[in-house]
Structure 1
Amino acid sequence: MRKILFASALALSFIACKENRPENPPIVANAVDNAESSVSGSLKESYRSDDMIDQIYAELLKIDTNLKTLDERVTKIYQDSEKVLASYEPIIRKSESYYQDAHQKAVAIKDSLLKKEVEQQIKISKDQYSLKINNIKELIKKINTNTEAITDQYTAFKIRKTLPEIQKYQNAHPLKTDSLEHFITRQQNLLNELKNMK
């Protein structure tokens, strides 16, 4: 009997919730549909997006030609950086891989005098190559450091540029507690009712 009463009460509470939905549409849907911010379109499309900053910034790019030009320059510097490094890194990587393989094979030589001689030759060649490419490695390191710095600065810029937009959105859609408090009261009433059932 108790199970039937409990199931009935639960079913009634679900029906009551469904009946009240038209009066209180979801807050998020209303906020997005009625957004007065200049980025309302992106907010609506990317409600479940992981990266709201890029979504909002993309909207700003559509209306600000200076921002769009800056974004194109940043994208181009990333692409060019990859192209510049692409012609150096495989050569260096293959050379380093060669010396590693040569050392491993030399270690396997059973004749100790021959092993020592070959290891010495490998070391001389490797040291000479290291000296030759030392400056190149430093320049590559500088390019990578600069790329990281550009990424950091551009990320900070995007955050600063989009903060006022999300604040406009928030100010245009203040969230009230009425619906939440009303629903908690309904829950509490049902809980009390269930506790008093015999």
Structure 2
Amino acid sequence: MIRLSIAEDQQLLRGALISIMELEDDLHIVGEAADGAEAWALIEKEKPDVCILDIEMPHLSGLEVAARIRHHNYPCKIMIMTTFARAGYLQEAMDLNIEAYLLKDEPIQYVIGAIRKIMQGERVISQDLAATLFMNEKNPLNDREINVLKLVKHGYTTNEISKRLFLTKGTIRNYLSLSIQKLEVETRQQAVQKANEKGWI
């Protein structure tokens, strides 16, 4: 019996996945979660064989939960399900040695088959994503530039970012200017948009 946990913030999709998977003789759902924090608590408690994680969830993303699983050396196999074919997300998943990375529009039997394959030691990536992996662009931003753009994305001003990161406003403006140059855009808003689309922030 393969013990599964499912984390998906869309209740309808989560319920549909659970209903269909429970019909399989070799699959058992040990719990469900509507956000990343709930998912992590569930994984710590139940230690499932496979955890299915949505990539974009409140509190913790699927990739952040996956990083915690790896940090704690839990044997849980990780399946990321996403609507986003972003190279940055996929590369981060590969760096974490995630066993499966699937698009949400895959047929349910493909998903169920992928669960069984990763339990046998295989890795499964949606075919549409394989090309994305080979065409992956390297993130030109350094860690500090990424942090600054993330704060801009969440609506923080230069002054507020300066206080949060304990850096001068001039230094923050310098990081933003470098980010704009590296991303070949004209404004900080365009830099945030492009970095977000690429899955770099």
Largest Rg, 1 or 2: 1
Bigger strand share:
2
Bigger helix share:
1
TM exceeding 0.5: no
Larger RCO, structures 1/2 (Cα 8 Å, 6+ apart): 1
